[in-house]
Amino acid sequence: MADELVHYAVDRGIAEITLDSPHNRNALSAQLRRELRAHLSGAIADEAVRVIVLGHTGTVFCSGMDLKESRGAGADAQGVNEFPAILEDIWTSPKPVVAKIAGPARAGGVGIIAACDIAVATHESSFAFTEVRIGVVPAVISVTVLPRLLPRAAHELFLTGEKFDAARAAAIGLINSAVAADALESEVRRYTDMLALGGPTALAATKAMLRRSPASGLGEDFADMLELSAEHFASAEGQEGIRAFAEKRPASWVPPAG
Ligand SMILES: C/C(=C\C(=O)SCCNC(=O)CCNC(=O)[C@H](O)C(C)(C)COP(=O)(O)OP(=O)(O)OC[C@H]1O[C@@H](n2cnc3c(N)ncnc32)[C@H](O)[C@@H]1OP(=O)(O)O)CC(=O)O
């Protein structure tokens, strides 16, 4: 059996889910997605768990969808269809989910952060919505959440794919705080300690109400965006971007016909 790519541990009501696929920078491969979903479900179902922390080993939080596995993806690509389920699990989890980030996050990796309730990152962490540079769309969650909060920054960041630092991520509300690397654990603990003070039912109900707010909800457009994402992964442009990534060369875009 292949080595586990996601680890799980529970200590005093805090479940720690750790992405551990450093060779591809915690890319969302089929195996990693499967394991991540299973552990999220386990933590949500476990009555002893009050708060979920999502962290990582290695230098990168998550490099987004596994682009090497996405080569030849059809419009019904399992990866694209399964990824939203992970985001939805985090989004709808009755237990707060805290992202612990000590390095870059890209594309779908930033989507995961956007879905979490609290996000803490080191000063050295960086973020980018690189999807358009790969020829796909940042469809699934980021575009439903950030544009409502900060339309101007969202247009800039989604359309340029530019990298931004932890200070900017905090300024636009993508993360809650940026700290020195040696303070990451204690800052996460500060949040988990506070979250564990809340009544579990009240916390779950409060989170559900917050998620229903039009300012932060997964809108009705979700299914449409999902379809759009799958189409783009399968398109000639998306497949060119994915090939270019694997071949370590700039993508060669062909203007759309007509
Ligand atoms: C979910 C949706 C869309 C997406 O998520 S599309 C995915 C877009 N992702 C990216 O554009 C990130 C690509 N990766 C990077 O930019 C960099 O790897 C990094 C994350 C900044 C880390 O840089 P670093 O220098 O530390 O590492 P390397 O670039 O040398 O990579 C090492 C090794 O890992 C492989 N790898 C990296 N990222 C991926 C990936 N996403 N998929 C597969 N493999 C990846 C890389 O190829 C290297 O492999 P070697 O064999 O060693 O060359 C849609 C939606 O948003 O809804």
pLDDT of residue 242: 94
C-beta of 111 in contact with ligand 1 (< 6 A): yes
CA 69/CA 27 separation, integer angstroms? 10
pLDDT of residue 213: 61
**Mutation test of ligand 1: which of 28, 36, 63, 127 has the most ligand atoms closer than 8 Å to its C-beta?**
63
| Lookup: tokens for 256 | 């759309």
Of all helices (H) and strands (E), which one includes residue 33? Answer: helix 30-45
Q: At what angle do helices 222-234 and 78-92 cross, to 10 degrees?
A: 150
**Cα(first)–Cα(last) distance of the chain, in Å?**
50
Compute the distance from residue 120 Cα to the ligand 1 centre, in Å: 21
C-beta of 27 in contact with ligand 1 (< 6 A): yes
pLDDT of residue 221: 61
**Mutation test of ligand 1: which of 28, 56, 67, 78 has the most ligand atoms closer than 8 Å to its C-beta?**
67
Compute the distance from residue 71 Cα to the ligand 1 centre, in Å: 14
pLDDT of residue 257: 66
pLDDT of residue 222: 66
C-beta of 107 in contact with ligand 1 (< 6 A): yes
CA 150/CA 155 separation, integer angstroms? 9
pLDDT of residue 72: 75
Matching CATH number, 6-195, of 3.90.226.10, 3.40.50.970, 1.20.210.10, 3.40.50.150: 3.90.226.10
List the pLDDT tens digit at each of the 258 positions of the chain: 579 999 999 999 999 999 999 999 999 999 999 999 999 999 999 999 999 999 999 999 999 999 999 887 665 555 566 788 898 899 889 999 999 999 999 999 999 999 999 999 999 999 999 999 999 998 777 766 777 777 788 899 999 999 999 999 999 999 999 999 999 999 999 999 999 999 999 999 999 888 876 544 555 666 677 788 888 988 999 999 999 999 999 999 987 666
C-beta of 139 in contact with ligand 1 (< 6 A): yes
Compute the distance from residue 62 Cα to the ligand 1 centre, in Å: 8
